[in-house]
Amino acid sequence: MADNHGNTPAAWTGVIVSLVGFCIAAFGMSVDPLNWPAFWIGTVVAVGGGVVFLVMAKLGMHESAH
C-alpha cells in the first residue's frame, strides 16, 4: 500500500468534485416533482471527478512526496 494512503491533491480534488456531483444529483431526486436535469448534471459532475483525478494523477499530483 502507498505511504500516502490517498492523501494527495489529486485524490482529494477528485473526491470533492464527486461529492459535489452526488449532492447535486441527490437534490434533483429529492425535490417534487423530480428534477431530471439536476440529476443528470450531478451525475456528469460526479463522473467528472474521476476524470479530474486521472488528469491530476497524470500531471504528477498523486505521487508520494518523498
- The three grid cell numbers given for residue 12, joined into one nine-digit string: 482529494
pLDDT in tens, 18-63: 999 999 999 999 999 999 999 999 999 999 999 999 999 999 998 7
Side-chain-side CA neighbours of residue 16 (13 Å): 7
Query: Is the pTM for the entire model greater than 0.75?
Result: yes
Domain residue ranges in the chain:
9-58
- The three grid cell numbers given for residue 3, joined into one nine-digit string: 505511504
- 31: helix, strand or coil: coil
